[in-house]
Each structure stands twice: as C-alpha cells, then as structure tokens.
Amino acid sequence: MKKIVILLSIILFSGIISQAQNITLKNSGTNYANGDTLVVSGSASVTLSSFMDVTNNSGTSMSIKCHRVDLNIVAGSTNSICFGGSCWPDTVSISPASIVAAGATTSEFSGDYKAHGFGGTSYIRYTFYDQHTTTDTICFIGKYIASGVGIDELTGVSISDAYPNPANTFAVINYAVSSADNSARVIVSDLLGKEMISIPVTEKEGKIKIETGNLVNGIYFYSFRTKDKIAYTKKLIVKH
C-alpha cells in the first residue's frame, strides 16, 4: 500500500512539472526556471526594464496573463507591466490575457521600474499563467538595483541596452534626457556608418521600439543624437 501511495505521488508530481513546462521563460537566450531572479541595474533617473520571452509549449493556444506582486519596494518608486503589445499604469497588477499560439513565443513582455531618483534595490515577482488553467504557472523575480547617480552630466542622456539583442523584428530601449530637445533622435547605422533608421524622440523619458524586420542580418549601432551631438552609441545585432 505504501509503495502504491509513493508511486501515485511521483506520478502526480511528474504531471505537475510537465504541466508547468507548458509556459517557459527566456531572457537573452537563457532559460529561467520557476522562481529564478533577473537582475537589472542602472541609473535611478531612467526606467529599468526586465524583459522576458514567454513561450507556449502546449499543443493549443493559451490566454496568458501576468500577475505583478511587489515583494520589497524602495519608497517613492513605481512599477508597471507591458504585455501583449500594451502597457498599463502602476495601478494595474494583472494584465489582460495575451493570446499565444501553440508553440509560439512572444517577446512583448517587460516589467518597467521607475526609481524616480530614489536609489536602492526593489524586488518584484511576475507570474505568468493560462487564465483557463490557473495551475499552469511560472514566475520570475525582477531585482532592480537603481543607483543614486542621475543622468550623465556630460551628455544629459541615459539610455538602456536594447532588448532583445540579437533582434528579429524589433528591439526596445529605454531612455531619459535632462531637458526637452526637439532635435533629439535615435539613429541606427550599419558598420559603414550609413543611417538606416531615424526615430524622433518627443518626450523627456520613455521607451522606443526599433523596427528591425527590414534590416538584413548583421551588426548595427544605435545612437542617441541630441543637438547635433552623439550622446551614446551601442551595438545592436539583427538576426532573423
């Protein structure tokens, strides 16, 4: 009898593990197991984002939601989530469902953390689940380390790394500038310096989506140009 109970427990546990694998998470090619921590650090003056690719490994489409829970937050900071092509204010802790086809991956999730100048470390848990099968869940912890150093005094600009990188159809960057500048733009250039994409920057802080679907595979550079000066230049790899 005892052996039967143990056998049934093993089968049940295996079934739970198998079911949990219907949704998997990946960041920059690295798989994240349930409960793993993703560390994001940067200036307290710019939005820090934890990006995650969400994959539906099941044989049918899933209506996936994300539930955000503040675990330990620096006073004065705010945070929010983007998922399924839309972003919501910090008052929304559960996203509307995003339809992910069988075997498909969506790269449209980001947990956005704004320190508002308050340095320190905050912890936020993001749980993904099928709204029709709430036991099929997986989560990760976003650890945000915001330094008290403000926007770069020399350039007046703070810009994040692009994600995903390598990029297929798009990449996203976060930025902040010390003052409004109607001439500010994000420029994407090839290895020879030829300008491929030019995106106007209209706000002092925000998120910019770089469409890369029409770029051939290769290495590019994205720069933040303000008042005819290049503030930052970073590498972007396009791979379809």
CA 46 – CA 146 distance, rounded (Å): 9
30 and 122 share a domain? yes
Contact between 140 and 54 (Cβ < 8 Å) = no
Residue 32 has pLDDT above 90, yes or no: yes
Is 40 within the bounds of a domain? yes
Which of 120, 147, 174 terminates a domain? The answer is 147
Angle at 142 between CA 139 and CA 143, to 5 degrees: 145
Same domain, 169 and 99: no
Average the pLDDT over 152-159 and give the result: 64
Residue 152 lies in a domain: no
Buried b / exposed e along 159-186 (16+ C-beta atoms within 10 A): bbbbbbbbbeeebbbbbbbbeebeebbb
Measure the CA–CA gap between 217 and 240, rounded to whole angstroms. 6
Q: Report the predicted TM-score, pTM, of the whole model to 2 decimal places.
A: 0.68
136 and 65, same structural domain?
yes
Pair (11, 96) in one structural domain: yes
Band of pLDDT at residue 18, cut at 50, 70 and 90: very low
Instruction: State how many domains the chain has.
Output: 2
Q: Are residues 69 and 36 part of one domain? A: yes
Does residue 57 carry a pLDDT above 90? Answer: yes
Given a cut of 60, whether residue 3 has pLDDT beyond it is no
State the residue range of the domain holding 232.
157-238
Residue 62 and residue 97 in one domain? yes
Q: Does 172 reside within a domain?
A: yes
The Cα–Cα gap between 201 and 175 comes to: 9
Q: Are residues 51 and 97 in the same domain?
A: yes
Which of 100-109, 131-140, 158-167, 182-191 has the highest mean predicted lDDT (pLDDT)? 100-109
102: domain CATH number is: 2.60.40.3880
Is there a contact between 21 and 135 (Cβ–Cβ < 8 Å)? no
Residue 211 included in any domain: yes
Query: Has residue 58 been placed in a domain?
Result: yes
**Domain check: are 77 and 184 in the same one?**
no
Domain end, chosen from 86, 119, 147, is at: 147
Q: How far apart are CA 149 and CA 194, in angstroms?
A: 34
Q: In what order do the strands lie in the sheet with 98-100?
A: 36-43, 133-147, 120-130, 62-72, 98-100
Residues found in the chain: 240
